[in-house]
Every structure is written in C-alpha cells, then in structure tokens.
Amino acid sequence: MSLTKFIKAILKRREAIPAPGAIIYNATAAKVLRKPETKLANDIIEKMGSGTILDLGSGTGYLSIEIAKRTPGIQVYGIDLSRQMVRIARRHARGVENAQFKFGNAADLPFEDNSIDLIISTGSLHHWKTPTRVFDECYRVLKIGREAWIYDGCPDAFKDQADRNRIRKEYGFLAYRIGTKVAELHGFAREEYETKIKDILDQTEFKDSYQMELTDVWMKITLKKHK
C-alpha cells in the first residue's frame, strides 16, 4: 500500500470513540490494559520525579492517574477527543489533584510552546487522522531535550512462542487472548511501522530524532526534541 493510500485508510477510521464505546472500553479493555499500563507507569516514574506529563488519548485515565497518585511532584494532563472518556477519567481522578483531564484534539494542543517534560500515548496513534500534525504539535509543546513515548498495538509482539508464553504467564490467558485481537485490529504491523509510519515521521520536526522498538505488548516510538 502506498503512503497516500495508507493515510486515506487512517482518515476513514473514527478518531473519537463514541459514548457507548467509551463505557464498554471502561468496563473491559481498560481493565485488560491495566497491567501493561502499570509497567509503563513504573518506567515513566523511574524516568521522572517531577515535571509535567501530557497523556495523548488518555481514555478513562488509568495510566495518568496511576502516575499522579504515585508521584505527587508530577503534574499530569490527559487529553482525549471523546467527551465520555473525559467524563469517566475525571470521575476516576476525584481526589487526585495533580491529574487533570481535558476534552481536545491532539492535532491542536492547548499548551504553550516548550512547556511539557514528557509526552506519552498508549493505543491512540492508530486513531489519529492527521498524524503529521499531531507529531509536530508534540514537538512544539515539548521542552528542548525532552521526549515523547508513543505506544501502539503491533501483532508482531505476539508472534514468537516465547513472547506468547511470557504474556500469558504475566498477564493471564484472558488478557493474552484479548490483547492479540486488539493488536490486530488497533495498531499496525511491524512492516507498516518501519515503512508507512516512518515515512510520516520523516515529514515532521522529529525526522532526524526518533526510534522504534517492540517492547512488551507494544510498538514504542521514542521521539526527542533536539532544538
């Protein structure tokens, strides 16, 4: 598939999860992702003891709230294009003053230039209709020398028998079964990351400062703002 057709296919996808889908997500998928996102929270907390984190496509808020609760010196902002997701996240965040959730589009971030210490995103990239704009917005709001960690689904994470066994043991059979389907339907194959997503990144301000790696159940894209 050409890059043009690939982008058109992305544009056909619904960018915001509708209200009924948000409720179902909160009851099922969010719980399945809880253990993998807890591991991500550990990595993030290890990297940062203070500062400002922006969570793109924050969904029902678990990752943002977990970080905020465990590290009071970090201010976490979650942004999502689903009003229902934002409402659920705010409900979950009651009493956690350093976690705030906003309705908004990642392609037009409501933050000042050079104001964010770390950007994170889990399972959101495949929804972005204008990924080039989103990446450039990430570049704009990041402080110089800071990073964005973009995680999304990749079925190749489940290909090797050793990886499948590890995931079943670590997360349980149900999470493994649902995770494989989620990765197939919500994300990209490794070859697509290494060609189509790479081509998109090469059109952004991050064109000379990114890397991709399969990690746990995700494809992780690390972006760094050099100047």
* H or E element in which residue 144 lies: strand 142-153
Q: Could you list the pLDDT tens digit for every one of the 227 residues in the chain?
A: 655 555 445 445 555 555 555 445 545 555 666 777 888 899 999 989 899 999 999 998 999 999 999 999 999 999 999 998 899 999 999 999 999 999 999 999 999 999 999 999 998 999 999 999 999 999 999 999 999 999 999 999 888 888 888 888 887 877 777 777 777 777 899 999 999 999 999 999 999 999 999 998 899 999 999 98
CA 51 vs CA 44, 76, 118, 143: distances in Å: 11, 9, 8, 11
- Neighbour count for residue 115 (Cβ, 10 Å): 13
pLDDT of 181 reads 76
Domains of the chain by start residue, with CATH: 3-222 (3.40.50.150)
pLDDT computed for residue 4 by the predictor = 52
Rounded Cα distance between 32 and 174, Å, is 8
What local confidence, expressed as pLDDT, does residue 30 receive?
56
User: Residue 202's CB: how many other CB atoms inside 10 A?
Assistant: 12
* Residue bearing tokens 């079943």: 168
In sequence order, the β-bridge partners of residue 153 are 187, 218
- How far is Cα 14 from Cα 173, in angstroms, rounded to an integer? 29
Task: Answer positive or negative: Cα dihedral of 24, 27, 32, 37.
Answer: positive
The CA distances from residue 158 to 190, 192, 197, in Å, are 11, 16, 20
Give the tokens for residue 97: 């003053």
- The closest of 185, 124, 129, 189 to 150, measured between CA atoms, is 124
pLDDT at 8: 47
How much is the pTM?
A: 0.85
Which positions ≥6 away from 66 have C-beta within 8 Å? 37, 38, 41
| Residue-level pLDDT at 11 | 46
- What is the C-alpha separation between 9 and 179, in angstroms, rounded? 22
pLDDT at residue 177 in the model: 77
Could you tell me if 110 and 87 are in contact, meaning their C-beta atoms sit under 8 angstroms apart? Answer: no
pLDDT at residue 220 in the model: 96
The structure tokens 């992305």 sit at 10
Rounded to whole angstroms, the Cα distance separating 58 from 86 reads 8
> What integer pLDDT is reported at residue 28 of this predicted model?
55
**Longest alpha-carbon distance in the chain:** 48
Predicted confidence at residue 146, as pLDDT, reads 97
Rounded Cα distance between 219 and 152, Å, is 6
